[in-house]
Chain A
Amino acid sequence: MTRITINGKEVEADPKKPLITACHEHAAQVPMYCYHPGLTPVGSCRICQVELQQGEIPPRIVVACRTPVAEGMVVNTETPQAHDARRQCLEFLLKNHPLDCPICDKAGECDLQDYSFSEGQAEGRSVEPRRKLEKRKNLGDVIVLDQERCILCSRCVRFFEDVTKKPQLTVSGLGSRSVISTFMDRPLTGNYQGNVADICPVGALTLSGFRFQARVWNLDKHLSTCGECSRGCSITVEVLRRKEVKRLRPHFNEEVNKWWMCDHGRFSYARLNAEDRLQGATLHQDGVPHPVDRETGIAAVVDMLRVHSGAYILISPWMTVEEGEQALAFCHALASPPRLLAPPTNDLKDDLLHTGEAAPNRRGLEGQGFQTQSRDDALSALAAAECAVLIGERITEILGVEALAELSNSIRLIIFDTHALQVSATNVCIGIPNAAERTGTWINVDGHAGRIAAAKPAPPGVASLTRSLEEIRAALAPVAGEVGS
């Protein structure tokens, strides 16, 4: 550690990190556009200028993101010279920046807007017209570029160079004609394009899926965990009007995903907004579902399990640790072995984040004592079973509706899932909340616990899985005692 002085206060700073990090750590407000802690600093925007005095040399203005920390540095962020330097820099950045904040999706979380508001001048001095460039340029399916808004910080360029190691963007053209573009105008590819919209300090790069969908100050942000692979990236679930998940964004987590997440996870929110959810429960007779309330469904399950003890129980790897605990007790009460359905795999595995294992909590549930069973084994066990209970989000989806449709009608099939299963073998379906509607913990592939948070209310008539299982267990308790004796 090195001792430096920031705004008259002697502090310890990490010499391996640039000066701007030390400033931020010690509450000195230094704006930044091109600097991003996850990317190589280049010092192209010049907005992070501070006044630096070192030894005998008179004070001078330097960019904090490209200056390494050295012993005895005296840094001042609030001197008139530093303010002047930053203000002039800001004026140049705003010279060609269009005033379309009312339209821009970044408004409300835009670094340039925030700093212009606090430090910028109200009136522009330039009389020349602003640059006219392309406002709506599609860079692939995910990202839309607005060249007018771009301040050429090159964060997006460096993201593809530094993080995915597959450069796809560059700054082309010279001087005032510089724009961000792909090589040979080829569309962007890869599973990590969405991150450039997050790191863009202005509204130049936007997600085509989120474009003009909502104002960011209307979104309620809930810290949660992505469930699309066993990495379990920390994310924020952003919900509009307590109803609709509008976007998922990575949340900084040093140990898991740093600042990033993959597009596969980022665009998985459509599933969280599904409209055709199972409300309450359904009782199926000859393959026709009859909607009933949850209590009636639970009573039907209890009646069925009284007759068929030792039912075949299979749980989904999307269940949380808390739900797993309850499911374990449920298995013990029915004297059934606790079984976990093996998560499906996909070919998205890469060396950055995605693990290729499309379920978030296999490790946590295995640690609790569930035995993993492959899909084929599970299906053959189901075909032989007299009574089966399938528990958890997406379990019918992993097993496959077609495969379940082939089950004979003699089986008593009880399902806890977010959607009703429309096959002839089904007897009872009970609705459960999905990943954006419940609270719990997932253990990722490396053993890190990730918390998921209820970001929106569950559909009417849906109670937590924990509660439903507990109620069934309580209703079965005396019968289970008789069986035990």
Chain B
Amino acid sequence: MVIIKRKELSFIEKLYLPQIFQALSHSFRAMFQPRITRQYPEEPLPTNEVTRGQPRLTLLEDGEHLACVSCGLCEAACPAYAITIDGHETERFIEREPERFEIDMLRCILCGFCEEACPKDAIFMSDELELADFSRAALVYDIDKLKRPREELQGRIDYFYQVNDRWRTPSSTS
């Protein structure tokens, strides 16, 4: 058992009034401090290539076709079951391309596993973080909403290679 002996308060301290006035002056001065609020929609969040935003699909140099071959590895890697892919045959040299590539952004947890699983550099985490709509269905993003020119994601791609190069071997990136 510990007996805590409280400090005896002097008469002035017992009045509490000096402390109250001190506190009031403190809060009054706080009114003139610089604001720390971020005016969010006008002042966007700072992002850089380390930001793991929503996943996006890269386009090939032709700017028309996805780099994705719908191998399904991101679908298998996704811990939130957010990705659904249906492939179909294409006449291009890569033989298969996604017919349907959907990411349910309501389920996506922005973990970046899809980016790591992808053998074709087809999916990367963008710096896009805003997600709002009036229906759930509209937040299931399809290819049209997901595709981005490779240049837009270039910063993230470079960063990704920089941090993952030691795990990668030359032959596994081809």
Contact = CB atoms under 8 A, between A and B. Distances in A.
- Do A and B touch (CB < 8 Å)? yes
A122 B169 CA distance: 7
Given A99-B174, A123-B170, A136 B71 contact: no
Contacts of A215: 71-72, 75-76, 85, 87
Contact of A122 (B69, B96, B119, B171): B171
B76 A122 contact: no
14 contacts: A103-B96, A107-B71, A122-B171, A123-B170, A124-B171, A135-B95, A211-B89, A212-B70, A212-B87, A212-B95, A214-B86, A215-B71, A215-B76, A218-B72
A107 B169 CA distance: 21
B72 A103 contact: no
Interface of B: 69-73, 75-76, 85-89, 94-96, 119-120, 169-172, 174
Contacts of B96: 103, 212
A102 interface: yes
Contacts of B174: 99
Contacts of B172: 122
A226 B119 CA distance: 38
Contacts, number: 46
B75 A123 contact: no
B71 A103 contact: yes
Interface in A134-148: 135-136
A123 B169 contact: yes
A268 to B, nearest CB: 22
Nearest to A144: B89
B69 A102 contact: yes
A218 B119 CA distance: 18
B87 A213 contact: yes
Tell me whether chain A's interface is mostly helix, strand or loop, or mixed: loop
Contacts of A102: 69, 71, 73, 119-120
Contact of A103 (B76, B94, B171): B94
A165 to B, nearest CB: 33
B169 to A, nearest CB: 5
B65 to A, nearest CB: 14
Nearest to A123: B171
Interface in A208-232: 211-215, 217-218
B87 A218 contact: no
A135 B90 CA distance: 13
Given A213-B87, A217-B76, A103 B170 contact: no
A313 B87 CA distance: 47
A129 B7 CA distance: 86
Nearest to B172: A122
A99 B94 CA distance: 12
A136 B95 contact: yes
Nearest to A102: B71
Question: Which of A107, A212, A214, A217 has the most chain B CB atoms inside 10 A of its CB?
Answer: A212
Interface in A375-412: none
The 3 A-B residue pairs with the shortest CB-CB distance in the complex, in nearest-first order: A102-B71, A215-B72, A212-B96
A217 B71 CA distance: 11
A103 B169 contact: no
Contacts of B72: 215, 217-218
Contacts of A212: 70, 87-89, 95-96
A277 B75 CA distance: 30
A218 B77 CA distance: 12
Contacts of A214: 86-87
B88 to A, nearest CB: 6
Contacts of B169: 122-123
